[in-house]
Amino acid sequence: MADIKLFGIKGQVEELQSTQVTLEKELQQLLEDNMYTFFGVTFLKSEYRIANGRMDSIGIDENNCPVIFEYKRSVNENVINQGLFYLDWLLDHKADFKLLVMDVLGIEKAEAIDWSMPCVICVANDFTKFDEHAVNQMQRNIKLVKYKKFGDALISLEYLNAPQVQPIVLDEPTAKPIKKSNWKDKDFKQSFSEAGEKNQNLFYSVRNYILSLGDDVSENQLKLYVAFKKVRNIVCVEVYQSYVLLHLRLNPDSVDLQQGFTEDVRNKGHWGTGDLRIYLKSLEDFEKAKSLLDRAYNEN
C-alpha cells in the first residue's frame, strides 16, 4: 500500500517522521473525544461489554446507524473478524443498543435508529493487502482506517476502502410497484417503486454520477433515503413521483438560489443531512445540478 509522507514547509523543508502512539489507550481516547470531528459519529460508550467480549468503542452516525470501532493493537490481531462478530451480535440484540442510545441521547434519538447500514470501523497503524481484499469480498459495511501520528500535534487518518454494499433498490425501473400505503409509512424502497420509470432512471443517472466522482464515495441505502458519503454524507437522495430530491452538504449562502430548483433548508426539518435542497424533475435539471454535486464532493 502507498504510504503518506508529510513535510513541514515553513522555513527549511523537512520530512516529518511518523510514529505509532505510545499507548494503545492514547489513540482510543483521542478518537473517542473527537469522534464526530473525525468520523461524523456521536460517541456513546467506551469498552461496551457484551456476554462474549467487549467492543472498543460504539457510537451512532449522522444517519442514525450504529457504528462499532475496533482498534488493532498488534500485528497478529484480527480486528476484522472481531468487528464482524460484534456486528452480528448487535443485530441480534437491537434492544440493548436502543437502551444505550436512550440513556445517552434520549428517547427521540433511540426511536430514530436506522438498522439499514450498521458499520464497523477498524483503526490500525497498518493493514495488509489481504485485509483490504478480504473486506472488499465480504460485502459488509466495514471500513479500514490507517492512522499515522506525526510528532505531538498531527495525526492523519486514511480510509483504505469505500464499502459498496448490496443495494436494496429495485434492479428494474419497471418492476411492479409495492402496494400503496400512507406516505408517512413509506420507506425508500416503496417510494422508489411508486416513482415511475422516468424518476427511477433519473435516480440511477444521479447515482452513477456521484459514484464516479471518486473511489472514496460509498453508497449507503437507508430506510428513508440513500446517502452518498466520504467520511460524512455529501449528498442524500429521495425519489418521488413528481421529482428526485437531493440534499447537499453545501452552504446555501454560497449558491445562487433559483425558485423551484434550489432551496435553503437550514431551518426546515427533512430526512437525511445537508442544508441545500435541489429538486430534479428532468435530465436538464440534473445537468444544472452537476456543478453543485462536484462542489459537494470537492468541499467535503
- Summarize pLDDT for 84-135 with one digit per residue, the tens: 999 999 999 999 999 999 999 999 999 999 999 999 999 988 888 888 888 8
Amino acid at 144: L
- Residues 234-290 have pLDDT tens digits of 999 999 999 999 999 999 999 999 999 999 999 998 999 999 999 999 999 999 999
pLDDT at 288: 96
Q: CA-to-CA distance for 269 and 165, rounded, in angstroms? A: 28
**Taking the C-alpha atoms of 50, 51, 53 and 54 in order, what is their torsion angle to the nearest 10 degrees?**
20
Domains parsed from the chain with CATH numbers:
6-159 (3.40.1350.10), 183-298 (3.90.1150)
The number of residues in the chain equals 300
Distances (CA, A) of 113 to 12, 109, 147: 51, 7, 29
Three-class secondary structure of residue 169 per DSSP = coil
pLDDT at 164: 62
pLDDT at 181: 40
Q: CA-to-CA distance for 22 and 30, rounded, in angstroms? A: 13
Residue % of the chain over a pLDDT of 70: 89
Asked whether 126 and 81 are in contact (CB, 8 A), the reply is: no
Distances (CA, A) of 3 to 146, 175, 296: 10, 46, 27
pLDDT at 69 over 80: yes
| Euclidean distance between the first and the last CA atom of the chain, given in angstroms as a whole number | 24
In terms of Cα–Cα distance, which of 85, 80, 89 is closest to 122? 80
